[in-house]
Amino acid sequence: MAKPRVIYWFRTDLRLHDSPALQAALDLEPEVLWPIFTWDPHYVYKARGGVNRWQFLLDCQNDLSDSITKLNKNSKLFVLREGPQTLFPKLFKAWKPTHLVFEKDTDAYGRSRDEAVAKAAQEAGVKVIIRSGRTLWDSDGIVEKHGGKPTMSITQLQAAGKKIGPVAKPLPAPERFPDPGDMPVDFEQHVPDKHPDFNAGYRSEKDTGYNAIAGPNGDFAIETLEELGFAPATTPHRGGESIALKTLDGLIKNKRYTATFEKPKTSPAQFEPQSTTLLSPFFHFGALSVRLFYWRVHEVVESYGKGASTPPASLIGQVLFRDMYFAAQAALGQSFAQTATNAYCRFIPWHLPSKRDPETGFATGDYHIDKPKAEEWFQRWKAGVTGFPWIDALMRQLKQEGWIHHLGRHSLACFLTRGGCYVDWERGAEVFEELLIDHEPACNIGNWQWLACVAFFAQYYRCYSPVSFGQKWDKNGDFIRRWVPELKKVKAKYIYEPWKMPLVDQKQAGVRVTGGGLSERQEGSYPKPMFDFDERRSICLSAMKNAYAVGLHGNDEKVLDGSWRSLFPSPDEAEVMGEYESDYGETADIGDEEEDQEELNGDSAGIKRAARKNSADAKTKKQKT
Ligand SMILES: Cc1cc2nc3c(=O)[nH]c(=O)nc-3n(C[C@H](O)[C@H](O)[C@H](O)COP(=O)(O)OP(=O)(O)OC[C@H]3O[C@@H](n4cnc5c(N)ncnc54)[C@H](O)[C@@H]3O)c2cc1C
């Protein structure tokens, strides 16, 4: 019998070690194996991604490609520049594979993409093999063992995990790699629609990434930042399986650190080196197996004995959080990413709410400016010029390096939402999506919901002060001095509150505290704080208290049709989302009357459809998390 001809499709698993999907492909003992990556326009244009994360991805791909070539000089990672949905049907004809193998992806887009590809494979008579390998347990398996519901706490995750059984032991990396087969690409390339391009702001040069399906030299080379039209990355953090494995080895050698790690005791102000592992971007790109991490840490903890830390604070606890968010996302799909239609997300009438597609009910990526002041605060937060040095230092580190400590993320997220600006958590999640090198949809969204106290966590009265929280870790403000150099010479007593600095001290420190921070910023100045934090904290607190008392969730009819307003004070009386031109309502700006009517009908049908989709969850929506 003829031996299998296998396409191995790398995506979220840019590694050779512990890859159940790759192992399944190799177990077929194929005659030929094509290790490929498809350059998907969805991520290039429709998902937010800053240049630092692209650099990390390219690092991971280059490292993986080198490792494949070390095993077989005829092979490497072959990159094809086309969306998988249009590419695979052509590859199935041109290359005549018998099998397509890949790692399971439970992200909302990943699922719909894989369904389309699997359908095309079935039509072409190509067998599809999918293996879970991105999480400790298969996220769909967790959901099943948790009664089809999302896991909203670590305890729920652990209980469901227990029903599946122990986390699988890691698999060794292969020692041999089969030859690739012929790779004709004499078919027409489907050139993607580049508009809208969410990442246009990063492209200083022409984007030539899709000029030819096999790259500029026809050799299926890995893309470069230049081809994407991007300037060089600014992050010092570099990707790749080789670096990940070395970092893990270093961590494991430090037995005390590994065994006694307690996340709440690690400092968000520590840098070079940071106080936590900084393995998250490697997990994101699959350059490091989370199961390998789990078992190696587990061994250290076991041998350490008394004094070892335990979940949720321990290192094992950290990766349990990761699995918890993955399983929450796996259960809720696209609704997980937003309030509207999400039965598990509390409705809070934040400012700058998302615009939604009237047909589907899903967020479009754009938002309403219901209050110009809130927009100004959001822009200042995003630019790192709020006038609160702790917040600005964190944001500037994030923009420059793409990674900040977990508690730094807490500070930024709390400040933007319930502890300062009262801006929709979806705005913050979008900025993190763009800037983080470890951006993981499930973890980013889940953590934003946690910090905004709309899901997973409900203690909204616990608020991070942009002054005392930073001082707790770094009295002298070294972290601020590193990231906000205008304040480098400011005395420790003013470094967290420079607006309190007398003029004579400002002079001595060579900085003037003046202006609003955005376009009007002057050389040698640092902005005044954008509001009185204590005042804002109490306004937000009472608004949160009220929203909790009203008790709406994202899938409530009142949230979806806008009638929630009757349950809240007016925006003139309290902190409530202001009026704006509705996505759905009477004032939708459509010229033609007939179209107008159709649109309105379509609107409500679309909203109801989205609500129905989640209605199964509605009964459990008020559960304790
Ligand atoms: C608002 C906000 C947004 C976030 N967005 C992301 C994101 O997009 N991608 C991401 O991986 N993490 C995200 N996190 C979680 C967490 O901050 C990072 O995983 C962690 O800081 C990464 O650093 P580390 O690798 O040194 O973590 P360590 O403390 O060394 O932990 C080891 C690993 O455990 C996992 N982990 C730790 N904490 C969490 C957590 N709270 N949730 C999920 N996984 C966790 C990560 O994979 C991490 O690499 C976010 C947190 C907040 C508050």
209-267 tens-digit pLDDT: 999 999 999 999 999 999 999 999 999 999 999 999 999 999 999 999 999 999 999 99
- Ligand 1: does its nearest atom lie under 6 Å from the Cβ of 322? yes
Question: Closest by alpha carbon to 83, among 109, 49, 103, 52?
Answer: 109
Decide if 470 is inside a domain: yes
- Asked if 157 and 320 touch (Cβ cutoff 8 Å), the reply is yes
- Asked if 155 and 121 touch (Cβ cutoff 8 Å), the reply is no
Provide ipTM, 2 decimals.
1.00
Q: What's the confidence (pLDDT) of residue 358?
A: 87
Decide if 305 is inside a domain: no
Tokens matching residue 475: 């009295």
Spatial distance between the Cα atoms of 47 and 196, rounded to a whole number of angstroms: 10
* Number of compact structural domains in the chain: 1
Q: How far is the CA of 180 from the centre of ligand 1 (A)?
A: 37
- Ligand 1: does its nearest atom lie under 6 Å from the Cβ of 325? yes
Q: Which domain holds residue 579?
A: 338-496+532-625
pLDDT exceeds 70 at position 607: no
Decide if 593 is inside a domain: yes
Decide if 176 is inside a domain: no
Kindly report the protein residue whose alpha carbon is nearest to atom 40 of ligand 1: 321
Spatial distance between the Cα atoms of 381 and 277, rounded to a whole number of angstroms: 27
β-bridge mates for residue 127, sequence order:
99
Q: Residue 214's CB: how many other CB atoms inside 10 A?
A: 17
- Ligand 1: does its nearest atom lie under 6 Å from the Cβ of 314? no
Decide if 214 is inside a domain: no
Decide if 491 is inside a domain: yes
Kindly report the protein residue whose alpha carbon is nearest to atom 39 of ligand 1: 318
Spatial distance between the Cα atoms of 248 and 266, rounded to a whole number of angstroms: 18
Decide if 561 is inside a domain: yes
| 280 assigned binding-site residue | yes
Q: Name the residue of 440, 447, 451 to mutate for ligand 1: max ligand atoms within 8 A of Cβ.
A: 447
Q: Which pTM does this prediction carry? A: 0.93
**What is the pLDDT averaged over residues 588-607?**
35
SS (H, E, C) 316-383: HHHHHHHHHHHHHHHHHHHHHHCCCCCCCCECCCCECCEEECCCCCCEEEEECCCCHHHHHHHHHHHH
- Asked if 280 and 237 touch (Cβ cutoff 8 Å), the reply is no
User: Using 50, 70 and 90 to split pLDDT, how confident is the model at 18?
Assistant: very high
Q: At what angle do helices 406-416 and 372-383 cross, to 10 degrees?
A: 160
Residue entry with tokens 């040698």: 524
Residues 514-564 pLDDT 10s: 998 888 778 899 999 999 999 999 999 999 999 999 999 999 999 999 999
- Ligand 1: does its nearest atom lie under 6 Å from the Cβ of 279? yes
In ligand 1, the atom with minimum distance to the C-alpha of 438 is: 9
Decide if 276 is inside a domain: no
CATH code, domain with 420:
1.10.579.10
Tell me which amino acid residue 10 is.
F
64 to 59, 354, 404: CA distances (angstroms): 9, 38, 26
